[in-house]
Amino acid sequence: MKVCSFALFVLLFFCISCDNEEITYADCKIVFEGDTTTFKNIGEKRTFTISALKQKYADGIATDQWVTVSESGISVTIKSDEFKLTSSSAALFDISVEENQADTLVQASLLVSVLDGAVTKTEEIALKQSASEISYAYKIESEQNPFIIPKEGGEFFIPFTCQCKRTVNGKEKDWEYSDMKRLRYVAYVNSGLVRDAKGEQVRSHRFETKSTDKPGHYNLHIIAAGPFYLGENTNFEMYYTIRNQIFEGKEEIYLYQTFSQEQDPTIEASFPLPVSNSGPLNI
């Protein structure tokens, strides 16, 4: 009888101990399934699944048991203007991206957060989309070409327009009024300094390209000296061109603006001093 009583006491002791066992959860594993390799530049949609597991602790001691975190404890967000997230739940969702309209890599981040009681964890997953293959064709038209500068010189504005047609991944887009940030100018005059009517040397011609309030519409601003004389056998020569960048290989000239200006042989002749400058068009 005493043996039975002792066995019953031990059994009750262990049952009471189990009832009082403190169960907690810590640590977390996020299980992510899906293809995160670089997305195609033509755009695509992919499906992903996410689940999370939290580790069970008994009286502060880790067990080998992992418990599934409920969907309500998982959130998914995306940091991107290009990548879009659609989902029916946090555990199953789609990520899509339209065709890349630039010749640069698109990068984004997918944030997966777990908040389930004391269990918290956040992981960041990188997303990328390949750069597109883009070529550019330009059409630049001047309203007055050639431009005739009066003998007296002066200040002038020559309107011109720039249109661009892009070909993205082999597909041609429509012509659109465009900036000129991928282009450069070259300005040349064969008489950088001239003698004016007083016999003083002055700078002959200055160029500046100016934008307007309409996209793709510009003015070529010119300040021209005058009158002047380059000598009996020297014709005045000046041009302004817009072309592709030097590093792009074969030269493509989109605008070749020429000028003429009558000379005054009554003025002391100037020694022709060719001047040329060039640079990118950041407008």
Per domain, the residue ranges of the chain are 24-129, 134-280
Paired with 58 in beta bridges are 23, 61
Higher pLDDT, 10 or 232: 232
Share of the chain above pLDDT 70, in %: 93
Asked if 24-129 and 134-280 have one fold, the answer is: yes
| pLDDT of the residue at 14 | 46
| pLDDT of the residue at 16 | 47
Backbone angles phi, psi at 252, to 5 degrees: -125, 115
* CA dihedral of 169, 172, 174, 180, whole degrees rounded to 10: 60
Question: 24-129 has which fold?
Answer: Immunoglobulin-like (2.60.40)
Identify the burial level of 252 via C-beta atoms within 10 angstroms of its C-beta, where 0-12 means exposed, 13-18 middle and 19 or more buried: middle
**pLDDT confidence band for 19 (50 / 70 / 90):** low
* Number of alpha carbons in the 13 Å side-chain half-sphere of residue 189: 18
Give just the sign of the alpha carbon dihedral 201, 204, 210, 212: positive
- In this predicted structure, the answer to whether residue 17 has a pLDDT above a threshold of 70 is no
| pLDDT of the residue at 8 | 47
Closest to 27 measured CA to CA, from 53, 6, 2, 65: 53
Average pLDDT, the chain: 91
**CA–CA separation, 203 and 230 (whole Å):** 14
SS3 category, 152: coil
- Decide yes or no: CATH 2.60.40 for domain 134-280: yes
- pLDDT (tens digit, 9 = 90+) per residue, 99-154? 999 999 999 999 999 999 889 999 999 999 999 999 999 999 999 999 999 999 99
Q: Which amino acid is at 68?
A: T
Say which range, 11-20, 62-71, 76-85, has the weakest mean pLDDT: 11-20
